[in-house]
Copies of this chain bind each other. A is one copy, B any other.
Amino acid sequence: MGNGGGSGGGMHSRIVGTSRFETSPSVLLRAGARFRLEDVDPDSTPGFSGTKEEGAAALLASDGELDALQERLFAASRVGARDSLLLILQAMDTAGKGGIVRHVIGAVDPQGIEHHAFKAPTAEERAHDFLWRVARRLPEDGIIGVFDRSHYEDVLVHRVRGLSAPEEIERRYAAIRRFEELVVGGGTRIIKVMLHISKDEQRARLAARLDRPDKYWKFSPGDIDERRHWDGYMEAYQIAIERTRSDDAPWYVVPANKKWYARIAVQQLLIDALHGIDPQWPAPAFDVAEQRRRLADS
């Protein structure tokens, strides 16, 4: 991809670029003005011509880069930098959100991550505007926040299932834009990811859960009922992406039939965003030689 990793020297030297992308997913997967979900092939691997094995190797090879960038982001926040990063993961069931968290986010020091899975809202949460619970989970300075589902459920499920009136859903698109604008203005980069699988791939993945006793707990008969609304969900995603994409808070639609591809793509989106922030190690707020002397005497 030619950016980031290899650039810089000196204090940047620990962070070495290892991407195998010819063109970054930050460019290739971004939903633009003419975005059509139906044009995205869930089997494709944009920008990456390698094999599954090469993809798995690329994931491991960039683990350290992501971790080192987050550590530097955190260090910079200790001396006042207000930057943080928020990854919003949306997808149909089985699309691999959990695998992204485990295999991409899992490479980062747990001290640098704030992960939250949004479930059906509680009574307290329902007694507030839909953005209330989301605002409370925004990441601290220096941290990578991860939302497993998000406020987008309130325009996706609510549209498909008719849980809110059309006017209310219409209001929410605009509310989301303003809210995200505020968040970005406060120093949090937002990366919105839809993991995109095909309906057939979902069937295969659900079937696999029914084949393994250690996966039964992930299966619910309701998952099959939801499949009847597949087309409705795709339409709801199309509309939500159109209405809420912005330069500040872009949507990336990541082909996810190949789990290994989705993982390296999201990893690269995070790495690119962190290179965009370009956090620096803080200069010492003390005289190093003097502290060495004091320490020797202590």
Q: How far is the CB of A227 from chain B (nearest CB, A)?
A: 5
Roughly how many angstroms separate A213 CA and B148 CA in the complex, as a whole number? 36
Roughly how many angstroms separate A75 CA and B214 CA in the complex, as a whole number? 9
Interface residues on A, range: 35 or more
Roughly how many angstroms separate A156 CA and B175 CA in the complex, as a whole number? 48
Contacting pair A217 B281 (CB below 8 A): yes
**What 0/1 pattern do residues 247 to 261 of A give for CB contact below 8 A with B?**
000000000000000
Q: How far is the CB of A149 from chain B (nearest CB, A)?
A: 12
Which one of B14, B78, B117, B216 contacts A283 once the chains associate, using CB atoms below 8 Å? B216
Contacting pair B217 A79 (CB below 8 A): yes
Contacting pair A219 B284 (CB below 8 A): yes
Contacting pair A291 B210 (CB below 8 A): yes
Roughly how many angstroms separate A113 CA and B224 CA in the complex, as a whole number? 30
Say yes or no: A224-B111 contact (C-beta < 8 A), given A214-B14, A281-B216: no
A137 within 8 A of B: no
A11 within 8 A of B: yes
A110 within 8 A of B: yes
Interface residues of A in 276-295 (CB under 8 A from B): 281-284, 286, 288, 291-292, 294-295
A109 within 8 A of B: yes
Roughly how many angstroms separate A283 CA and B203 CA in the complex, as a whole number? 22
Q: How far is the CB of A86 from chain B (nearest CB, A)?
A: 15
Contacting pair A221 B109 (CB below 8 A): no
Roughly how many angstroms separate A78 CA and B216 CA in the complex, as a whole number? 11
Chain B residues in 8 Å Cβ range of A113: 110
Per assembly, the copies of the chain total 2
Contacting pair B221 A286 (CB below 8 A): yes
Roughly how many angstroms separate A264 CA and B161 CA in the complex, as a whole number? 50
Roughly how many angstroms separate A284 CA and B286 CA in the complex, as a whole number? 60
A206 within 8 A of B: yes
A105 within 8 A of B: yes
Which one of B115, B203, B213, B296 contacts A295 once the chains associate, using CB atoms below 8 Å? B203
Q: Which residue in chain B gives the minimum CB-CB distance to A77?
A: B217
Say yes or no: A298-B224 contact (C-beta < 8 A), given A110-B115, A219-B284, A283-B216: yes
Q: How far is the CB of A7 from chain B (nearest CB, A)?
A: 17
Q: How far is the CB of A50 from chain B (nearest CB, A)?
A: 26
Contacting pair B109 A213 (CB below 8 A): no
Q: Which residue in chain B gives the minimum CB-CB distance to A103?
A: B109
Task: List the 5 shortest-distance A-B pairs measured between CB atoms, nearest first.
Answer: A216-B284, A75-B217, A227-B298, A217-B282, A102-B109
Please name 9 pairs of A and B residues whose Cβ atoms are closer than 8 Å in the assembled complex, sorted by A: A75-B214, A106-B106, A106-B110, A203-B298, A210-B288, A213-B284, A216-B284, A216-B288, A217-B282
Q: A102-B109, A220-B286, A221-B291 are in contact. List 4 more A-B contacts (CB 8 A).
A: A14-B214, A213-B284, A216-B283, A221-B294
